[in-house]
A = this chain, B = another copy of it.
Amino acid sequence: MMQKPLILVTNDDGITAPGIRALISVMKEIGDVIVVAPDSAQSGMGHAVTINNTLTLEKVMIDEGLEAEYACSGTPVDCVKIALGQILDRKPDLCVSGVNHGSNSSINVIYSGTMSAALEAGMSGIPAIGFSLLDFSWNADFEHIKPFIMKITREALNKGIPADVVFNVNFPRLSSDEIKGVKVCRQAKATWVETFDKRISPHGKEYYWLKGEFINQDKGEDTDEWALDNGYISLVPVHFDMTSHHSIKSINAWDL
């Protein structure tokens, strides 16, 4: 690619999060960067889109040397939609989302605003990658994963992400020396089992906090959970055809 690629950067932790700042700093070395990210934390928003409310868009300047940065009042998916539908004159060559503060491995791909933004770009025909680090802390260290992000992104631009596929990349919470490399994986079969913390407000009204425990039922060694547990960066190629193709035949025999 002779021309510098145009790269759209977004996330779900909000435009000021250290994770997106780290991602922007890598992307600035690769191409022309435009940032459209939520003006507040939007974790767990999944593929939510704002249809019963309005959106605002504010041009901000946080890092230097960028095409532009916009803070959007909506969800991560809204950010991608408004970038493509309102802000950009042409399709970006790549969309990257993250770096998320916390894991988006296995079933978390469905709850994740970070990955939903990447999927939304993928659905619009834009090569897209979501990056996440297994460290929820706001002060998480992203410095040592930058070379890995650089290499994965360059290879994705060189080789071309397959059509209708988006990459879900998760980094273990390990130092550079401890990281063994990248494993291409399938999504582990895991679930969240919820409990609720019931409390009483000062006004006597009951309310609940959602708490969850992550249960990995999958013993496979070809999964993202296995890779992360064993010192690898996991890369799951994700698609948005949710059809269970192999069940179609058996259900066709039903009396419906």
Contacts and interface: CB of A to CB of B under 8 A. Distances in A.
A237 B248 contact: yes
Contact of A187 (B187, B241, B255): B241
28 contacts: A43-B52, A47-B111, A49-B210, A51-B210, A54-B199, A54-B207, A55-B209, A56-B205, A56-B208, A81-B194, A86-B196, A86-B198, A86-B208, A110-B119, A110-B123, A110-B240, A123-B191, A124-B191, A151-B256, A152-B256, A181-B256, A184-B252, A186-B248, A235-B256, A237-B244, A237-B251, A239-B242, A239-B247
A81 B212 CA distance: 10
A251 B81 contact: no
A162 B56 contact: no
Interface of A: 41, 43-52, 54-57, 75, 77-78, 81-82, 84-86, 107, 109-111, 116, 119, 123-124, 151-152, 155, 159, 162, 164-165, 181-182, 184-187, 189, 191, 193-196, 198-199, 205-210, 212, 235-245, 247-248, 250-252, 254-256
A128 to B, nearest CB: 13
A70 to B, nearest CB: 12
A239 to B, nearest CB: 4
A241 B50 CA distance: 26
A53 B168 CA distance: 27
Contacts of A49: 44, 46, 111, 210
A251 B184 contact: yes
Query: Top 7 nearest A-B pairs by Cβ distance?
Result: A46-B47, A85-B194, A182-B256, A239-B244, A48-B48, A46-B46, A237-B247
A46 B120 CA distance: 12
Contacts of A245: 186
A210 B162 contact: no
A150 to B, nearest CB: 12
B244 A162 contact: yes
Contacts of A110: 47, 119, 123, 240, 242
A30 to B, nearest CB: 16
Contacts of A41: 52
Contacts of A109: 242
Contacts of A123: 107, 110, 191
Contact of A84 (B52, B194, B235): B194
Contact of A57 (B78, B164, B208): B208
